[in-house]
Chain A
Amino acid sequence: MSSSYELAAVLLVVAATVFIGAFGLRLSRTTSDFYVASRTVSPLWNASAIGGEYLSAASFLGIAGLVLVHGADMLWLPVGWAGGYLILLVLVSAPLRRSGAYTLPDFAEARLESMRVRRTASVLVILIGWLYLMPQFQSAGLVLRTLVDVPVWMGGLLVASVVTVNVLSGGMRSITFVQAFQYWLKLTALAVPVVFLLLAWRADGAPGIADQDWLLPLEGSRDHPVYATYSLILATFLGTMGLPHVLVRFYTNPDGRAARRTTLAVLSLLGMFYLLPALYGALGRIYAPDLAATGGGDAVVLTLPGRVIGGMAGDLLGALVTAGAFAAFLSTSSGLTVSVAGVLAQDILGGGVRSFRLATLIAVVVPLALAAAARSLPVADVVGLAFAVAASSFCPLLVLGVWWRRLTETGALAGLLVGGGLACGAVIWTIASGPLDGWQGALLAEPAAWTVPIAFGVMVATSLLTPGRIPAGVARTMVRLHAPEALDVDRGDWRPRRS
């Protein structure tokens, strides 16, 4: 049975993750190594860790699947997911790090000096996190089912348990290095098989693709392709900065400059990775077009090595890809779980180690239940929806918060509620009712093109209408956000917190 290699690979990844979490990499140092111990994580390590956490099942499996089914239009997906970091680099990365915020609610509180905005941001972070976790669990189930004959929810449960055990046992102690390793594992798992696949393709006489609808942009099988494409671009470029697990990693940078350098490194690492899924999609169109018809697009990356190369080599390469897929589920899920649990513990359960443990359980169980209950859409589509929610709530908050002095508490609150609310509504509708036809379907399935401008508009307009609610310390905050750390300026003092 050919799936035994793949099963072994999955078990190996799972076992390695648990083992590293439980025993390994406890960086113990003795007396003379103070200097080494107090050295912060370098931008390249940090960037690898961000890449490891960011490249989810949607990137690893989903993009190739959507390219296979819908053709050239879907190339915007990898472009956008990498390009989001460009916007992050230019507009927010350094000021965000200088704000000292660890989570998005922290930033909201730092900038707007309001607990109400903070709590709203917390709720949104949790919603986005769950929306992002749900498809990870779902596709873990799908992948596991292609290997062993078990119900779909088993795979999700497996990933969820490994993540929970790891986080709870304190295994995330060396999380940066584990996640950095996961990035390189994922890159290898896609890059090595693709070399063999391309060789096999050459040996096969390099067959081309005749289907012009698939090859040309805006000719694909989706309705209203122009609108959908622009909406996708907006959601992915602007949504990245609002993802809870991205910001959390930036805290590890010692200062704003390091944050910028890290973002630059992330851009190159992701750019490198995102070349590959498109190749899988194109090869899949040649060798596995039947997957597009049966709706199994997400499986294309996993099945190609077996189909094209076959034999022992195909099995081994298939096993490598499957291991990469599980690495993707595990790393993204643990990153998200840690950040959602952090926000849950701090803002809802009142802080402390015990509430962090409880929060970890809640953070995992809810999306697991959702994954079992909700219909199964293509994984990249659901993740795209999470990006749309982030783009229409946190993007305006971050961009205006960093660059516009006149943002007020009321404005921020109104923008978050209206933008986040509309996007969430569209998401729930899409997931609950399935894809609709016509304009209605396009607007709901790709909401970013209308929710993002509305969110910005509401935030700006409400802020202009309530000039009295500009936070008292806005000048200080702006100095703190924008002045380089080396500059000796008055950044304000600590004051007792008022609730």
Chain B
Amino acid sequence: MEAAIAAFVLAVLIGVPAVVLFRILRGRRDLGSPVDRATFETLHTASLAAPPLRSGLTAHGAEKSARHLWALLGSAAVAITDAERLLAWEGAGERHAGAALAHAKDTLTGGRTQVLGPDAVACEDLDCPVRYAVVVPLTTDDRVVGTLVAYGTQASAGLVRAAEEVGRWVDAQLELAELDRSRSMLMEAEVRALRAQISPHFIYNSLTTIASFVRTDPERARELLLEFADFTRYSFRRNADFTTLAEELRGIDRYLLIERARFGGDRLQVTLRIAPEVLPVALPFLCLQPLVENAVRHGLEGKSGVGRITIVAEDVGAECLISVEDDGVGMDPEGMRRVLSGEGPQGMGVGLANVDERLRQVYGDAYGLVVETAVESGMKVSLRVPKYRPGVSAA
């Protein structure tokens, strides 16, 4: 037994590195001619330098990518500055680092490539490789945001050219970073804009229902009005984007009370199957109520007799599985697809499309609504909600 275990551990310890090494070596062999290899190496270095720059011109990112840019340029040293300070120095002659911003000054104001000679750069040490400097501006949207400085024993045309090309490449990366930033800002703005609203139909229907009770049963009308007030307070809440499943269920309860008054108590039967473990799950505000409203409107209004709605919330590992099912008239699946992609007829299923959109925004495209339906066979809308997502919290 002991021997078997020892052999197994040994096999894993030796086997895994061996496989990795074999792969690397085999990979090397296929690379082709020396020119090809040099090209690949350059591309690889560039690809290493890119990710740190994707968060913009920060000290941390500049430091990381300077290492690779230095290798790419092959100069004695490389410095990266933003408009106010030195962000990174890589290579020889570290004591010149303090002067880098002074070297960059003209380029920062003028926005043009500058070549500085020994009089501006070199120190007393004759062996110091930092004698000439090529200063390239880094621009985003025609604005100089920083500089890339390449130092060498001389400013050959090759170095100037290389520095300019690398500078342009860095520009592109910074612009991508800017793009990333605006995209995430856009997503935030979209989430705000998509913030849930209760449907105007519902307000209208509620008020007419309540009005019908005012003379015949004033006490009932008063109760309904209070429920309606509570529901609107819940749905007009502005201070948070998220709520808990328990809160959302309470909102749905109020909503159904009013709908039941409208249809008459017996025509609407609701069954709940909620795992108590998922009640504290945070989810986008008003993302279930529209599903229930949809079930009531499209499932019940078009048919006679009793309508049944089943709301289920299950606990599945790190996620919560929620579904709302009705036994109403159903819908053509193709029509449903159009509604969800926003191509449907005006006013149809706006609630569903909105919920779908918001879920995708917050949790990613894997978490949209899933609708199972067919004409005359009811509809089941289900969604998955991860129990944790950074920033998603009901408080």
Contact = CB atoms under 8 A, between A and B. Distances in A.
A8 interface: no
A373 B319 contact: no
B191 interface: yes
Interface stretch (A27-35, A66-74, A197-205, A210-218): A27-35
Contact of B317 (A34, A338, A495): A338
Given A29-B273, A33-B272, A174-B275, A343 B315 contact: no
Q: Please tell me the size bucket of the interface on B.
A: 35 or more
Interface stretch (B125-133, B205-213, B382-390): B382-390
B319 A35 contact: no
Nearest to A373: B5
Contact of A254 (B246, B272, B318, B388): B246
Contacts of B8: 373
Given A30-B269, A433-B2, A493-B188, A343 B250 contact: no
Interface stretch (B134-142, B149-157, B225-233, B277-285): B277-285
B242 interface: yes
A250 to B, nearest CB: 10
Contacts of B249: 34, 37-38
B388 A110 contact: yes
A402 B276 CA distance: 27
Interface in B369-395: 384, 386-393, 395
Contacts of B6: 432
Contacts of A468: 59-60
A346 B272 CA distance: 27
Contact of B392 (A31, A175, A494): A494
Nearest to A469: B60
B280 A30 contact: no
A100 B275 contact: no
Interface in A310-347: 338, 341-343, 345-346
A31 B273 CA distance: 11
Contacts of B2: 375, 432-434
A235 interface: no
Contacts of A252: 276-277, 279-280
Contact of A176 (B260, B276, B395): B276
Interface residues of chain B: helix, strand, loop or mixed (majority): mixed
Interface string A340-384: 011101100001110010010000000000000111000000000
B388 A491 contact: no
Contacts of B120: none
A28 to B, nearest CB: 5
A254 B270 contact: no
Interface string A18-61: 00000000111111011101111100000000000000000000
B314 interface: yes
Contacts of B193: none
A468 B318 CA distance: 32
Interface in B6-55: 6, 8-9
Contacts of B191: 494
Nearest to A359: B317
A353 B362 contact: no
Given A31-B270, A345-B318, A251 B277 contact: yes
Interface string B240-279: 0110111101101100100010000000111111111101
A374 B5 contact: yes
A244 to B, nearest CB: 12
Contact of B274 (A37, A342, A480): A37
B4 A38 contact: no
A456 interface: no
Contacts of A496: 184, 187-188
A172 interface: yes
A102 interface: yes
A106 interface: yes
A175 B272 contact: no
Given A252-B280, A495-B188, A26 B5 contact: no
B321 interface: yes
A38 B188 CA distance: 30
Interface in B189-245: 191, 241-242, 244-245
A446 interface: no
A480 B394 CA distance: 11
Interface residues of A, number: 63
Looking at B4, B5, B362, which has the most chain A CB atoms within 10 Å of its CB? B5
Contacts of A480: 393, 395
B280 A356 contact: no
A466 to B, nearest CB: 10
Given A492-B391, A493-B188, A497-B390, A253 B279 contact: no
Nearest to B191: A494
A469 B276 CA distance: 39
Contacts of B252: 34
- Most A CB atoms within 10 A — which of B8, B250, B318, B321? B318
Contacts of B250: 34-35, 38
Given A29-B272, A34-B253, A432 B319 contact: no
Nearest to B268: A31
B316 interface: yes
Interface in B269-317: 269-277, 279-280, 282, 314-317
B395 A485 contact: yes
A459 interface: no
B384 A352 contact: yes
B246 A173 contact: no
A240 interface: no
Contacts of A245: none
Nearest to A360: B317
A251 B281 CA distance: 8
Contacts of B271: 28-31
Contact of A41 (B244, B276, B314, B390): B276
A175 B318 contact: no
Contacts of A28: 271-273
Nearest to A35: B253
Given A346-B318, A494-B242, A101 B388 contact: yes
A109 B390 contact: yes
B241 A494 contact: yes
A359 B316 CA distance: 12
B276 A40 contact: yes
Contacts of A106: 387-388
A432 B244 CA distance: 47
A113 interface: yes
A207 interface: no
A260 interface: no
Contacts of B384: 352-353
Most chain B Cβ neighbours within 10 Å, of A100, A346, A359, A468: A100
Interface string A96-113: 001011110010011001
A65 B202 CA distance: 66
A496 B180 CA distance: 11
B138 to A, nearest CB: 21
Contacts of B269: 30-31
A353 B5 contact: no
A196 B273 CA distance: 43
8 contacts: A31-B270, A35-B253, A100-B392, A175-B315, A254-B279, A373-B4, A495-B184, A496-B184
In order of increasing CB-CB distance, the 5 nearest A-B pairs are A342-B317, A34-B253, A102-B387, A494-B391, A38-B249
